[in-house]
Amino acid sequence: MTNPVLTAELALKSFYIFNSAFGPKEGEEEKKVLFYHPQDTDIDTKIKDVGLSEAIIKFSNTFTKDDSVQTMHTQKTCQFYYQPEPGYWMIMTLSVPFDRKTRDSGDYNEYHGDTIHDTIYQSVLRQAYRMFRMFHGTFQDNLRPNEELDAQANLIGRLEAFYQSYILHLQMKRCDVVDAFGSVQYLPLNQLLFLRVQNFINMIEATFAPIKHCIFLYSDQVVWSGINPTDLYTLYEYFHSPMFDQLAQSKQTRPAYVTEQGKCKRYTLMVCRKVQNISLCLLLDDGAVENEQSLYLELNAVVNPQLTAISSDISQHLQSGGESSYSFGCGGGSSSSSSSSRDDSSPKFIFFNELNLQHRGTVRLGQAQYHSVTGSGLPNDVMNLIVDLLDDVRSNRSSVMDETIVKTHDDYWIVKRSCNTRHVFIILNKSSTLIDVTEETKKILDQHVKGIFF
């Protein structure tokens, strides 16, 4: 008989960035390392880890020609590879969780490598690059000398300043399907309210010439966005991170790089503080504003009265049942999701639209499941299975519409239905027959996503 005596959770073991072109000669291996976490790691270990990564990449290239190595699993670690720009590699190493057990022959570790899903943590690594690019531009853009440092030293300084803070706030064990989706929640409004918001956006863009794009949030849900969905997700993650709170205390604006027509364009990001439940994020034409403080005060004077009125109208709309047909539980704001969270066996669903990177449903995802006392999260194996089903759809685009039904060993039923780029996952936690599951699925689809699927 075995008894668990110690448990080690999933954790970040190392995170590093290198470029082999910076140290092509023997004895210059140290120059390849652009960033390494933990920072106090000795240089020999850094060189050895980078060298091993180079060997794995080179070995994999004997079978492929597109540097497609992404993941390497061992018993104790899982390593993720990402080449965001030619020559630059980002490597993230996770420690596999394990239970320390004992038996008659002695103690041993039982590792659980299957809890680490490749797609989820590959997405986390890609997001780490996108977050840097959002506020500093590409790695290559930062490879330029300044008055005090040469080009490589300047790049290293930028990477260290950003990632030492960014990594501190990464919570690996809390990553879930939202990281794989890379999506945000949109708030559904009736036509009149939405047109009112759109008219308000048009008004401030016409009144203040430097304003080029706006993002309008209500209770952390997106109402309007003028940028592409991928950059919107990156900004959304930033607004909900401690990095934003720290920066907001010191200054009101910062540079932001948004992708437009395949190129990064620099803007100035200004966030008007919350007016009731509304947050207004503005992207200003870079260099067009001489006095940012004056513009900030003028904006607040103009928009605050209107935002107060809009917020009041949206609140009344929601309280009158304006979103009853949507049952927004992912954000934890609706009463319907709160009641469902008290019953773990109640049916749940997640809807995901790949076209605009939107998700909604009655499952608390991301940080929302940890901010709730009751919560309505899902077991890790169910989350991973949902991502597996999504991967299957992404790898097989030949079928326009399909449906898959899966039953887990602990009586969870997962129904996945896809139509073009729209996917719904229905989760049932009860012992049922296939006929019961089909009937329950039809009921949920008719109630929550009617008209989306044929």
In a domain, 77, yes or no: yes
pTM equals 0.90
Do 282 and 272 meet the contact criterion of CB atoms below 8 Å apart? yes
Query: Residue 85 falls within a domain, yes or no?
Result: yes
CA 442 to chain centre: 30
pLDDT digits (tens, 9 = 90+) for 240-286: 888 887 666 667 788 999 999 888 999 999 987 677 889 999 999 98
- One domain, residues 239 and 295: yes
Pairing relation of β-strands 422-429 and 348-353? antiparallel
Among 81, 287, 299, which residue's Cα sits nearest to residue 201?
299
Q: Which domain holds residue 382?
A: 348-449
Contact between 258 and 227 (Cβ < 8 Å)? yes
Which of the four pLDDT bands, split at 50, 70 and 90, describes residue 220?
Answer: confident
Indicate whether 15 and 138 sit together in one domain.
yes
Task: Examine the domain organization and report whether 215 and 161 are in the same domain.
Answer: no
Q: For residue 312, is pLDDT > 80? A: yes
- Kindly tell me the burial class for residue 446, based on how many C-beta atoms sit within 10 Å of its own C-beta (0-12, 13-18, 19 or more): exposed
Both 25 and 107 in one domain: the answer is: yes
| Residues 285, 398 within the same domain | no
Q: Which residue has the tokens 């027509």?
A: 261
- The band of 367, judged by pLDDT with boundaries at 50, 70 and 90, is low
Considering the domain boundaries, does residue 258 fall inside one? Answer: yes
Q: What is the pLDDT of residue 323?
A: 52
The rounded distance, in Å, linking the Cα atoms of 307 and 311 is 6
In this prediction, residues 200-222 reach a mean pLDDT of 94
Indicate if the pLDDT at residue 6 is higher than 70: no
Quick one: tokens of 242? 């401690």
pLDDT score at 67: 64
Query: Is residue 201 in some structural domain?
Result: yes
> Are residues 152 and 213 located together in one domain of the fold?
no
Whether residue 17 contacts residue 159, with contact meaning beta carbons closer than 8 Å, is answered with yes
Are the CB atoms for 132 and 155 separated by under 8 Å? Answer: no
